[in-house]
Each structure stands twice: as structure tokens, then as C-alpha cells.
Amino acid sequence: MTDTPDTPEAEEPHAFGIETLAIHAGARPDPVTGARNTPIYQTTGYVFEDAEHAADLFNLQTFGFIYSRLTNPTVSVLEERLAGLEGGRAACCAASGHAAQFITFFTLLEPGDEFIASRNLYGGSITQFALSFKKLGWTCHFVDPIDPENFRRALTPRCKAIFLEVLANPGGIVVDMEPVAAIARQAGIPLIVDNTMATPYLCRPFDWGADLIVHSTTKFLGGHGTSLGGAVIESGRFDWAQNDKFPGMVEPEPAYHGLTFHETFGDFGFTTKARAVALRDFGPCMSPMNAFLTITGIESLPVRMDRHVANTQAVAEFLEGHPAVAWVSYAGLKTSPYHALSKKYLPKGSGSVFTFGLKGGYRAGVKLVEKVELLSHLANLGDTRSLIIHPASTTHRQLGLEQQVAAGAGPDVIRLSIGLESIDDITRDLDRGMTAQSP
């Protein structure tokens, strides 16, 4: 054996902090102009180098830009940033959170397939899953997430996924993800987690066994109430070939000359199929302008979330002692049954959306949203501004009384999304709204 020169050991890749990723992930200075911010590529199409290059792009044999319904440079930066923030392999953006959920399930399911979902979801998701998806031949079984074993009990041979919100909207319920992930893993199906309410700053579901994450980027990621969007992010760890449940991932795809997405693209095969088939054929793409605004919003996500959480903790404690309030459901309170789970999954704070109940019931709820002045009465959350809504008369009104109560949106419930204003101004407005009510 001959001696060889010493060579320096290769450095381990540096793991950047989430604050750094929120600003830099997926982006570089523009190579042509030197622009430091990601440009808004407000274009529909892209010039091909030659006929062979065009054919390779359309055959998925090379990566690049074809048409902005499929890929756009501004949207691509956002996709890389979201994958980086969540610790995932790849992401695909869509026009809204509902669009992201649709392309996720379209990629997973065949007609006649089923999936299980927590019953504590955003009201629009319950309607999408229970009614609209049924028209596509997909059946959702809703379960009470408080006992993780309920997910196991609901499994059927046609079940292809489990879906939950880790921090449930609107009830402030924290779902114990880890045992649910184990149930999904034992069943050979993916766990899909909606992380909209927590954001990757407060919780990273992939660290707890999730396989896919969906977001409404409209909310905290954008953060300013300016731009609709959604995303699905893939962990890259799920084995689509472990059983016969996912033919769309392991069988030849006719539209692409018989390639198989799992075999060809490996740990980002799901994202590629969601883009190359669902996004291509149904067209719910994110606009470049909305991607730009969301990228800009994400840069301040860590700072905003710290302020959101601090303000919300103070508001929840204020309401807990208010004479007009019957109860407060916020996992940051020590009195919450979800406080321990929040400490486990959300150590930086329990988010900024929660509910409370008014002693005066439905009538008092309607009066409160009409009396407040600083808080905005509207159907959104995750804004810099504090927002208020009475779910039973708005976001959850399409549900029956039993469904409303089960979803944490009963007649007496008020949902708050606490913003970044001065805390004294927020509590003053709420107090004035509750004490100024007249018969």
C-alpha cells in the first residue's frame, strides 16, 4: 500500500436556522440583472432552445419551464422555500389551500377510494371532503381525533390516507400526531397534515412522522391578507411501492409514454405527479404575483409569529377572566386539556387563532362581531390585523348544529385571529364590544 496525501475531510452540510431559511431558501440574485429580490415573472410561456429541448421538457426528461400553468420561476422559488422550511423534499403550489388539497387527493385516490379525516377541521374542508369529493367517488370518514385509536378503528381496505390539522381550526385543539403517524405507517398509507395554523415556525409535522403537508399560504405564510395560495409538500420518505394501494404512483402513466412516477422520480415522485397531471389537467396554478407576495411575507414569518403568539396568550388570559365569557379554548392556557400536547408539538407557542364562548350564545356572538371597531369582521385568518368571526353564522353555517358543535363552531363560539397591534388596544376593543351590548 502506498501512502496518499492527506485530504481534508468533507464538511457536513450546514443546517441553516429557520429564520435564515425564511429569507434565503430557494432564492438567488437574478443572474442577468443582479436583482436581489425574486423578480415577478409575469409571463405565460418560455422560449425553448430547440425542438429536442422542447420534447425533453414535455416528456419530463429534463427540468425547466414550459408554461406557467405548470411551472413559473417566481412560483418555483416559493416551492423551494416551503420545502426548505418544512424540511421536505419538494413542493407544488396551487391557487388556494382548497386547490392544494384537491391536487393532493387527486394524485392519491381512484374512484371508490376512501380516506380518514379528523372531524376538527376548517368548515370548508369538511364540506369539500364530505360533499364535493363524494361526487368524484371519494369517501371521507370523519373521526374524533382526541383518541388516536379512532383513526385505526375507522380504517377500511379502501382507505388510502389519514388527514388532520395539527392545530385545528377553529377550536384550538392540538392533535397528537405521533401515534396517528404510527397508525398510518402500520396501514401503509400516508399521513397528510394541514399545517396552516401552526406554520413551520411553530411545528414541523415531518419531524413527527407526517408524509405530506398542505398549506393555505393565504394565511400566516403570506401574512398580510393580500394573496391567495396553497401548497402540498412531500417528505420524500413514503414508499409508494410498499403495497398495491397507489397504482397511480407505480403503474405506467399513459400521458407520459408509460413512465412510472415513483420509479422515475423517487423521493419527489408524488410532487412531480401532482404537478404534471393534476395541475396540468385541472389548472389551479398560483399566480406569479401571489407567489411574490407570499415569498415577501415569509421573510418576516418568524418575527411575526413570535408577536402573534405573545399577543394571543395575553388576549386568551384576559378573556378567561371576563364576566361575559363562558369558556376559552386556547392550548396556551394551563387550563386547556391540550396544554401538554401544545408543549410537545408547539414549543414556541400555541398559535394565534382560538375560540371562546359567550354566555349570551348565538345572539351575543352576532352582536359582538358587529360592535368591535379595531378587530375586522371577515372570513380569513393569519393577518397582521386582528380578525374576528362568528363561525356558526359564516364559515360553518353550511353545517348542521351537531356538525358545528363537533367541529368546535357551536352557536356561542367566537373565533379570533390575533394580529400584531398593541395588546391594550386589542383587549380594549373586545371588552368594549362585550360590555356595550344592549338587549
User: Which cell goes with 198?
Assistant: 401552526
Question: CATH number for the 18-298 domain, one of 3.30.70.270, 3.40.50.300, 3.40.640.10, 3.30.470.10?
Answer: 3.40.640.10
Under a CB-based contact definition with an 8 Å cutoff, are residues 316 and 330 in contact?
yes
CA angle at 346 for the pair 344 and 347, rounded to the nearest 5°: 75
Domain ranges of the chain: 18-298, 302-435
Mean pLDDT of the chain: 93
Residue 427: closest CA among 359, 355, 364, 375: 375
| 186 C-beta neighbours (distance < 10 Å), count | 10
Whether the pLDDT of residue 361 is over 70: the answer is yes
Q: What radius of gyration do the chain's Cα atoms show? A: 23
Assign a CATH topology to domain 302-435: Aspartate Aminotransferase, domain 1 (3.90.1150)
Whether the pLDDT of residue 9 is over 90: the answer is no
Residue in the block written with cell 353555517: 397
Under a CB-based contact definition with an 8 Å cutoff, are residues 85 and 22 in contact?
yes
Whole-prediction pTM value? 0.93
| Confidence band for 404, pLDDT divided at 50, 70 and 90 | confident
Under a CB-based contact definition with an 8 Å cutoff, are residues 235 and 212 in contact?
yes
Q: Which residue has the higher pLDDT, 393 or 211?
A: 211
The span from the CA of 432 to the CA of 439, in Å, is 15
Whether the pLDDT of residue 11 is over 90: the answer is no
Section 311-335 average pLDDT? 96
Per-residue H/E/C for 295-344: HHHHCCHHHHHHHHHHHHHHHHHHHHCCCCEEEEECCCCCCCCCHHHHHH
Find how far residue 283's CA is from the centre of its chain.
20
Residue in the block written with cell 364535493: 132
Whether the pLDDT of residue 367 is over 70: the answer is yes
List the single range of 123-137, 264-278, 343-357, 403-417 with lowest mean pLDDT.
Answer: 403-417
Predicted pLDDT of residue 3? 43
Beta 413-417 vs 353-358: how paired, if at all?
antiparallel
Under a CB-based contact definition with an 8 Å cutoff, are residues 394 and 370 in contact?
no
Helices H, strands E: what count in the chain?
18, 12
Section 27-54 average pLDDT? 94
